[in-house]
Amino acid sequence: DLPPEVYRQAVDQADIAISITDPRANILYANAAFTAITGYSAEEIVGRNESVLSNHTTPARLYQEMWTHLAEQRPWSGRVLNRRKDGQLYLADLTISPVVGHDGTTTHFLGIHRDVTELN
Ligand code: FAD
């Protein structure tokens, strides 16, 4: 088994935006790449909901599909239009995975995203 500090550093330093939320998408953790992409420091984003990233132009249908998957403890991947802290928009390729506890309930969500604006 790897020491927890190794996992911590691997996630902190990964070259892709990573966040961990509670079951209601309130952010508990964000790595350095998340700050680089969104413009929000970990200090200012922790405690806020992932919806602060939404530009509110992604169709509600997409979020309904997302939350239906997550409620069934299935991962979801898709593209959403996000807004950085400075107001600039970017297209995010996003994967959300449920973290399931010993009792079978979803304790957290893991969010991983990258900016794919240039690829489109
Ligand atoms: P919301 O009030 O969240 O609702 C939009 C629709 O989603 C509603 O019609 C409702 O049916 C459904 N819904 C919302 N919450 C739930 C729930 N708990 N259970 C069931 N159905 C629900 N969104 C982004 O736009 N960009 C991101 O980068 C992003 N990253 C995320 C990362 C993680 C780890 C998680 C868990 C969520 C992420 N989200 C992201 C989704 C975000 O939490 C919001 O649901 C989304 O941004 C829509 O916000 P809203 O305020 O417009 O609408």
Protein residue whose Cα sits closest to atom 51 of ligand 1: 51
Quote ipTM for the complex. 0.95
The pTM of the full predicted model, rounded to 2 decimals, is 0.93
Protein residue whose Cα sits closest to atom 23 of ligand 1: 51
User: pLDDT tens digits, the chain, 120 residues: what are they?
Assistant: 899 999 999 999 999 999 999 999 999 999 999 999 999 999 999 999 999 999 989 899 999 999 999 999 999 999 999 999 999 999 999 999 999 999 999 999 999 999 999 877
Distance from residue 5's CA to the centre of ligand 1 (Å): 30
Cα–Cα distance for residue pair 117/86, rounded to 1 Å = 16
Distance from residue 69's CA to the centre of ligand 1 (Å): 12
